[in-house]
Amino acid sequence: MCGIVGYVGPRQALEVVVDGLRRLEYRGYDSAGIAVVNQGKIESRKKAGKLANLEDELSSEPMSMSSTGIGHTRWATHGAPNDVNAHPHLSEDGSIAVIHNGIIENFATLRDELRSQGVELLSQTDTEIVAHLLSAQMKVSENLPDALRQVAQRLTGAFTLVVVHADSPDLVVAARRNSPLVVGRGDGENFLASDVAAFISFTRNAIELGQDQVVVLTPQDVLVTDFFGNHVDVLEYEVTWDAAAAEKGGFDLFMLKEIAEQPKAVADTLLGRIDDSGTVTLDGLELEPEYLASIDKIVIVACGTAYHSGMIAKYAIEHWTRIACEVELASEFRYRDPILRPSTLVIAISQSGETMDTLMAMRYAREQGAKVLAICNSNGSTIPRESDAVIYTHAGPEIAVASTKAFLTQIVACYLFAMFMAQSRGGVDKAAAREIALELATMAHKIDLVLDTVVGVREIAKELVDANSVLFLGRSVGFPVALEGALKLKELAYMHAEGFAAGELKHGPIALIEDGLPVFVVVPPPTDELHDKIVSNIQEVRARGAKTIVLAEEGDSSIDEFADHIIRLPKCPALLQPLVATVPLQVFSCEMATLKGFDVDQPRNLAKSVTVE
């Protein structure tokens, strides 16, 4: 959560930082603030609400020109989202400005220590204490980087801290523990941010910082040490997408753009990974054949939408490999004393690679002796760096808070892994593998076909805009699709929505059915053994007055008389159907939120990358 930007170089820092904050606002939009170093002083502005409020303030009261600055968009943890709690926070003498992402877990102890020394705290945040601790440490340390190293050693929890000092006009210093931070290396200028999107307009050369590291930026240099001042070698990489990929590109919303990009994202995730014979190759899956053969259990850990992709993966993995697979909420995983062995493979799924719950779950798994495979969209982020192997999803930047193309590419990555495991262990014959591979290779085109038919979905949204509640039903892989459809509607339209396994309907949830209640039903292909059972479920809810919106394969006429609305899906194997069935539900939720006048890209109370537990 929280967007962080830092800059030092020849440009006007205010313009660079505000531009970076605009690109990072998806990470938090409770408040925004900026600080620049100017002629031996720190100038700061901050406002509650979205970045536009800060920009209005800067228009009416311009800041001084400066070549060094830091900025922040906030997702509130400690303290209400107001002007006072917004970042940056300053030391008492105004010489130090600090911005922060994460949670400092021992802040109460440190706060009480500062109060006992007569320090007056102005905010309710855990961040402000860092400014005061740095101010005190500067009296005994040689310089700002050394002071930050000393203070960082005293902090517990997850934090990225970025600091400037009034007496150091060409210096930005930052510390990282369990929270994302990346350096952008330019020509005579350098950048800091919580995501490369902040500086992609200026440079594609990036350095991802490791755990417990401090980075010192000047216009010419990037110096990285650990918290104790020891030099650290860094690995620089090139970002493979450009600034245009993080723009709306003519669409009204980032979410609409990202929904439309799903065929390309799926195709890019498949690119070079399946040959003409149907053989799957996965670069980055650096696990020994002997280990792959020894795996007797797979545990998938993930949160939110990624958890739903893991539920779909379970069906594919068990079907194609015959290896037992469990799916766990990452936030609960390590607190229930799970049984893990060296023969257990843990798969951690995260779009950002920084999801704190997932990161802590995988660290726990490694401590227990299990190996970890990451499925991730962000090159160089923490989760793949700390994993034993990684499959990147190549979805490109996803700016809208509600995940769309990241979800589909996670599913594709899971399919690829399941097929790879089946082939490496002999779980499927070559003919079956080729057939599956050829079907998977057609899915990008079939998603495109679905996108061509979503006008009808928008019309359904207009009809249902005043509904108080919506239910989603599915069986087998359609059940996670139902859960994802409900989650999207909650996230975007702020409606009560629930997803159920259709077979469980009669065990309680059918009591919710009343006259006019909209119920979406994901119907498997007619060849699937569950097809007729879910048609019976449709009849059960229709008989009790529900308005049924049925997602069914083209040519399936068995549902016609039981559906108030039909959304047609291209033909594909039942296991691959989530790739086409999910898309209309994304469009429906987006349209419902738009009709209600809500901010689709930045829904209330949410942030894109959840970097706190």
pLDDT by residue (tens digit) across 494-528?
A: 999 999 999 998 899 899 999 999 999 999 999 99
What does the pLDDT read at residue 611? 64
When pLDDT is cut at 50, 70 and 90, the band that residue 58 belongs to is: very high
Query: How far, in Å, CA of 266 to CA of 415, rounded?
Result: 12
- Residue with tokens 């740095």, as numbered in its chain: 134
Residue 441: its H or E element: helix 430-441
Catalytic residue among 46, 371, 446, 608: 608
Query: How far, in Å, CA of 45 to CA of 61, rounded?
Result: 9
When pLDDT is cut at 50, 70 and 90, the band that residue 27 belongs to is: confident
244 pLDDT more than 70: no
Are the C-beta atoms of 90 and 131 separated by less than 8 Å?
yes
Measured CA distances, 477 to 262, 481, 584 (Å): 19, 7, 16
68 pLDDT more than 90: yes
* 608 in catalytic set: yes
Starting at the earlier edge strand, list the strands of the sheet with 213-217: 89-90, 96-104, 157-165, 172-177, 213-217, 222-226
What structural domains and CATH numbers belong to the chain?
3-241 (3.60.20.10), 254-441 (3.40.50.10490), 451-595 (3.40.50.10490)
Q: Which residues contact 126 (CB under 8 A, 6 or more apart)?
A: 77, 78, 100, 103, 104, 107, 111
DSSP, res 186: -
Chain segment 195-232, per-residue pLDDT in tens:
898 999 999 999 988 889 999 999 999 999 999 999 99
* 303 in catalytic set: no
Detail the DSSP E strand segments found in 400-510: 469-474, 496-501
Are the C-beta atoms of 541 and 548 separated by less than 8 Å?
yes
Are the C-beta atoms of 382 and 354 separated by less than 8 Å?
yes
Nearest to 97 by CA among 61, 62, 45, 28: 45
Q: What is the mean pLDDT of the chain?
A: 92
Catalytic residue among 2, 303, 325, 414: 2
Chain segment 381-395, per-residue pLDDT in tens:
889 999 999 999 999
Q: Which of 73-77, 221-225, 239-243, 555-559 has the lowest mean pLDDT?
A: 239-243
Query: How far, in Å, CA of 44 to CA of 57, rounded?
Result: 11
Mean pLDDT on 101-123:
92
From the centroid of its chain, how far is CA 423? Answer: 31
Measured CA distances, 156 to 78, 102, 107, 300 (Å): 15, 11, 8, 28
Are the C-beta atoms of 138 and 147 separated by less than 8 Å?
yes
